[in-house]
Structure 1
């Protein structure tokens, strides 16, 4: 467990946010039939009504670039001013090169600008945020931090545990010098004993791509749904309570709780277990589904329109590994009103 909670180095603030959701809307009816369930079953069990899927010619980098551009514009920062581009994803365009290098090149960063991927599955964005914030405290500059995933490419349409949950998307923030530290504290943890609960078995060095691995469906995303739910409520919830206690923030004092959008029903149960009032929960999963590493920054981008200076915002990611990342933000002054 890694806790970052100090005031060393210059303040680092969230200067801008952005997001990108594909235009193609997929409602529950479209995914229910192949999964052997009904649209009503999906809505009742998950709270998800629809999701967005990338077009055949859209990849993770395309969504990440659009979200990155939106965040840069919101921040009033040029790509040439960036010293770091960090992309959190578990669905890269390809095993190599890093998706971040494609994103950075398309955005037009200066030659030599650091760009790399980070994979902590659905916790990836919060892990990336904590990493970038720490680097900027040490070295200064500006960072573009993106969470992006295209899960529709790795789903088994017949697996009702997964096929009905996921959408595609990307969200981004720009970090840089601010008049107060926006990232008050962060904590990154991985509970490795549960690593088999979420997996894509093939496509790496253990089981390389082959006709046999494809025929066996080993390139599909797989998840032990009930065990994951138990992990969230039995492990993640108390970990969040401990993190908030250590940071000196009571759950009922949060202006917004921005969790990974595993599904709206689970998000509500998690918030109740942590002690966050229902009115403070930020939910986008009903419309966009579970967008992996994109879900926290996408939800933050949609939530920030109602945030005010001084508001405390809790970001909570959890996912494969099994990983959990938390970040407590104190919202800075902003001129944005729409």
Structure 2
């Protein structure tokens, strides 16, 4: 059987770093207040002339290089983003042009912070069925563009960045020892929209809007819902959560990471954590953390990875991949 095998991972962060001390100069907060509640120390911020597609392209180049591929090989591009360059065309189409890829399939997936997990499972529908030979899946965000800089409860939480993976078809035997995406679980509960949303859009206000969040409620739903999705994804993959080599969660908040890991019985040393350095980069956070785990030598070929995320919608989901 065909599996969707990850053959390369790449990441890109904008040059500008914004510390907690920097934010304390413009909003009523402090370094200690932010760290105590979120675990965040700093975040990256895109420059005014950097579009989210620019971040995506840089991450894509690194993923292609890691996979030993070139833009000419890419026949499918899926970009998970909430902060698209334009209302249309899709950011994926812009990335295709900027990379110089040939005519192929290109579209965006919008599931906010869960976007990368959603995008991977969508890509699996093409790659594992023989419809794509080289798929580029990107999570890219400029979340700082959605911030209300007078709201200390949200503006301190987010940063910008991009991460990407290359998916290629690989032969498997249909067992848990196969490389590739082994199982997933995706969820959405639209009745919880008011817990995390942006108060603008082209067909309502005609504006971009600002991010609004009921943090305590999001935290409560996150730990319970994510844990359920993780268990379901592991079951679909035919593995136990205890079999996982590395847990790569959406980097939303240190307390959520710890709460989910504790509820699932995952050892802390198995959790890839970058929230302290990157903050919450929405759909980019998982591939950014994944790339860091690969670059520092922790995550290796053959390892069993568990990815999970929760975002506005509310959306959430998890997937199990053998690298």
Q: CA deviation at 1:134?
A: 1.4
Alignment partner, residue 280 of structure 2: 290
Residues 1:150 and 2:148 aligned together: no
In the TM superposition, residue 103 of structure 1 has moved relative to its aligned partner by: 0.4
Listed as ranges, the matches of 1:59-70 within 5 Å are: 59-70=51-62
Moved more, 123-132 or 172-181: 172-181
- Show CA shifts across 1:286-332 (max 9, x none): 0011001000011111112312343211010210111112110112x
Is 2:250 the counterpart of 1:252?
no
Q: Give the corresponding residue for 2:203.
A: 205
Match of 2:112 in 1: 121
For residues 1-338 of structure 1, what are the structure 2 equivalents within 5 Å?
9-111=1-103, 113-138=104-129, 139-180=131-172, 181-209=179-207, 219-304=209-294, 305-331=297-323
Contact 2:225–2:316 (CA under 8 A) maintained in structure 1: no
CA distance in 2, matches of 1:288, 1:227: 23
Q: Distance in 2 between matches of 1:14 and 1:239?
A: 22
Distance 1:32 1:221 in 2: 19
Cα distance in 1 for residues equivalent to 2:85 and 2:236: 38
Tell me if the contact between 1:192 and 1:322 (Cα under 8 Å) persists in the aligned partners: yes
1:53/1:115 CA distance change after superposition, 3 Å: same
For residue 176 of structure 2, what is the aligned residue in structure 1? none
How many residues in Structure 1 have an aligned counterpart in Structure 2? 314
Aligned counterparts of 1:263 and 1:234: Cα–Cα separation in 2: 15
Farther-moved stretch of structure 1 (294-303 vs 133-142): 133-142
Q: Is the 8 A contact 2:309 2:318 kept in 1?
A: yes
Unaligned runs of 5+ in 1: 1-8, 210-217, 332-338
Once the two structures are TM-superposed, the CA of residue 79 in structure 1 deviates from its matched residue by 1.2
Give the Cα–Cα distance (whole angstroms) in 1 for the partners of residues 71 and 115 of structure 2.
22
| SS in structure 2 at match of 1:306 | coil
1:205 aligned counterpart, secondary structure: coil
Instruction: Say which is worse superposed, 237-246 or 167-176, in terms of deviation.
Output: 237-246
Offset, 1:109: 0.9
Question: For the Cα contact (< 8 Å) 2:85–2:91, is it kept in 1?
Answer: yes
Query: Residue 175 of structure 2 corresponds to which residue in structure 1?
Result: none
CA distance in 1, matches of 2:189, 2:24: 33
Residue 179 of structure 1, CA deviation: 4.5
CA distance in 1, matches of 2:23, 2:123: 37
What CA distance in whole angstroms lies between the structure 2 residues aligned with 1:72 and 1:144? 8
Inter-partner Cα distance in structure 2 for 1:311 and 1:74: 17
Q: SS where residue 123 of structure 1 aligns?
A: helix
Q: CA RMSD in A?
A: 1.4
After TM superposition, what 4+ stretches of structure 1 lie above 6 angstroms from structure 2? none
Contact residue 252 and residue 277 of structure 1 kept, 8 A: no
What SS class does the counterpart of residue 272 from structure 1 fall into?
helix
Deviation at 1:205, TM superposition (A): 0.2
Deviation track 1:185-224 (CA, whole Å, cap 9, x = no partner) reads: 1221112221221111212202223xxxxxxxx8111111
CA distance in 1, matches of 2:67, 2:17: 29
